[in-house]
Structure 1
Amino acid sequence: MAKITLKGNPFKTVGKLPKVGKEAPKFSLIKADLSKAKLKDFKGSKVILNIFPSIDTGTCAASVRKFNEEASKLENTKVLCISRDLPFAQARFCGAEGLENVITLSDFARGKFGKAYGLTIENGPLANLHSRAIVIIDEKGKVVYTEQVPEIVDEPNYEAALKAI
């Protein structure tokens, strides 16, 4: 389990992020149109998983905006923004912001993605939401970079993540 904080208050996740060099855990998430997206749908592309508690918070929204901006500069790379928000909330946010370079995916139904990736928050006021994390997967489905952001209100290390691409 990872130890994280929310404004200095400690919490735990259900596990640890996937190990670099290992096969990324499979997933099935819900797109804005309520269809399913699976990891295998992105094979052959580099994939940035931008994972966060809720798109309706300032830090989460900032990370989606930042990766939307950067995604347009990246070749053969898909940016997946993943939370437990309803797909409608994710679509509303991206539509209002004019964000077209990221793909929002929801783990709202069962939270299987969060458990498989070890980032479901186990306790505290954000229990059952996802912690803030970045996972980068190469074209063959191997994990090449991970970051578990230790303080939930902090943004991820964009520079390090983008270097890993």
Structure 2
Amino acid sequence: MVLQRVSRPAPVTIQDALPHEVQLYCIVDASWKSPSEKIGIGWSLYSKEGTLRLQGSSAMDVTGTPLVAEAVAMWEAVCQLHRLCYKNVTFVGDCLKLVQQLECAMEDKQHIEDYISEASSTINDIKVVAMKNHYTFNHVPRIFINVVDSLAKNARTINQSYVIF
């Protein structure tokens, strides 16, 4: 008897990559070049149907690693949507390590040694705001974050002040 591995088909759209109950999702990304250069962040909030609701982007202070840059981008997106009173948002990004660490933090498993990192303090800050607003976090393939990737790279390149549109 030959066992065949059954796998889900690769998602065609970002909606295919999200849990079916998601009503709002926010794609988040950072652009990092080196520990001596500013980073760029970008995020876009969408309805479950894929309608763009809101976007933000900015150049930010330098970070030591790409992981910290991704955590800063997530923190900024979470804070902005909290300030605007959005609840029940799923935040998505292509940084698997960050999403795994956020999931562990949300489940109070941050004591697991594998998930202690240079981004731990930012992750704990994200958790506090996320718990109040019923925010969740999911990993998506890089192909689904192109628009936000461009926002982040552009913000870094032109040293853009924070813009929400």
The structure in which a higher percent of residues are helix is 2
Which is higher, the Rg of structure 1 or of structure 2?
2
TM band (smaller chain): 0.3 to 0.5
State the TM-score, normalizing by the size of structure 2: 0.40
